[in-house]
Structure 1
Amino acid sequence: MKDGQFKEGEKVLRAKIDMSSPNINMRDPVIYRIKYAHHHQTGDEWCIYPMYDFAHPIGDAIEEITHSMCAIEYEDHRPLYNWVVDVCGFENHPRQIEYESKAVDGWNDPRLLTIQGLKRRGVSADAINNFLSEAGVSKNNALVEMSMFEHFIREDLNRHAPRAMAVLNPIKVILDNLPDDYNELCDIEINPNDENTGVRQVPFTKEIFIEAEDFSLNPPPKFFRMKVGGEVRLKGAYIIQCVSVDQGC
């Protein structure tokens, strides 16, 4: 076969394991076949190539993969995967785990730490590259905390993400020294770290809303948000003072 004496499909190399096994993959699986194709690295030097079930466990063991994630249809192939690793004498023994049906949507599932999954989650290439640059490359086994990766994601978002504001749990604030029809447009930067993103305009009127957690009737020490008699500065607007509270509103 290696010398090219046979045609494609004429001969194969099988692993004679256990012909009485109830798992057909563990009887006499094909591990090499003939393929006359130009290889991008070896050219026409080889005409025999390993089957996936043979190459997969060997590649994982050589690369010191700890967990090999496969689709559920590979569950019956797991005994062969383990057999190949064992008979080849690898000290590193990867664990093959099959995903249950519909557990993930594919390689681009945002729950996975694949490049496609991270991209779908919204993680930028810059964040990934900066993380890899900081983590470095080593031949030794190492564990990196997920929080380190998340730091570079936040850092990238802080530089590039447009800002927005929303009041989820509102408290009404009435500015009693303004006329009822007062309406001023205040400029708020879209990204304080990138002046090229420009500004957006937010209306400032007699009645505005703030977050409930930004106000306290009985504030603890060093409470720097709104309280009776205290002053706060509104984002993009003015300093206001709380002079009274109407809890019946």
Structure 2
Amino acid sequence: MSRLSVTAANSHRSDDTNPSKEKVEFEETILDDLRLLNAVGENDIHTSDYFSQLHDYAVQLIVGRDATKEENLHRFSEMSQGILGQDGARLCLRAKISVGDPNKALRDPVIYRCSSVPRHRTGDKWKVYPTYEFACPVVDSLEGVTHALRTNEYRDRNPQYHWMIEALGLRRVDIWDFRSDCTQRMKSGRTQEPRFSRLNFIYIVLSKRKLQQFVDKGLVRGWDDPRFPTARRGLTIEALQQFMLQQGPSQAVLSMEWDSIWALNKKIVDPRALSVPVHVRNGPAECYTTLKLKHKKSPEIGPKLTPYSSDIMIEQVDALGEEITLMDNAIVRSKTLTVDGHVSSITVDLHLEGDFKATKKKITWLAESPDRPLDYDYIITDYHQEENRGRG
């Protein structure tokens, strides 16, 4: 479920058409990102909600073909019931458009495949599933979408998108491409003006498939590696919004360095992020690290390396209270204030017998360890744009 569309009537739709690539966490992660951006729709829609209608439309196309239909209807019925076993896995339903068309997207594209893989929303009810190329235009039309916004890698598929809708006699959906040239003339002869530019980044890739290669080869510590564009720790929504607005409505393809977002973010965060040094008087004599579970209630997630030190850093907003909880309880013994009333330093004593449940403030802290890496270089060392492969 890596695809999610913003549809009509302030809704969002998860395109759960391929059971072999669907994971609930993919959808949840996308929805979390949308909530963070305050861009959550009123309705939660899935393409699988339309499986019955899509199946009926597929049968309608079979009936409408100009060759013998009875055998094809019978075969598709057997595919749908999953009674063909492994032989059925080799069968698929194609749209009869033009096998010799110069546009390869129109060469009888597959619109239905067999699959016995259960889905998390529909279980094992369906033995066949619609392809994205068939389901997307149909459901867009049914939901009342007026304009489909698509990046230009779908350019050759636009005539295919319109063919599906027209063959079924459904309401037309216009397409706006993310393009850099002036106009695009569709197969129907209608000319559309581009409304958007495409943004590329250098020294980074955004493709999930390419990022997966870094994870699989162990070149990064995981999908939460700070060098990945998937890691948003510390990135403010305000910075992201300002960055997008600064690009303007240009129709040119833009190439930006990944650092440009973080440089803008730094200007926003620095005035707010005031750190306070804290000395733990009865803390460890020397800095050391130990393995701790990332989540106590979910040990399967794995461990993390945690540094300990008698000198730590906390945020200014947390520099209050008498007894606080770090990883263990500590009692604040003294504070030093600046002339404007901010806390400049704190001294605490560990209070190991304290009750963490009774303290109001549970504080996040960072050990001042000389061995703790805080800076990361580019994940890709060559000048790189998203459409190229680069090297790690």
Q: Same fold by TM-score, threshold 0.5 exceeded?
A: no
What's the TM-score, normalizing by structure 2? 0.28
Higher relative contact order (CA 8 A, sep 6+): 2
**Which structure has the larger Rg?**
1
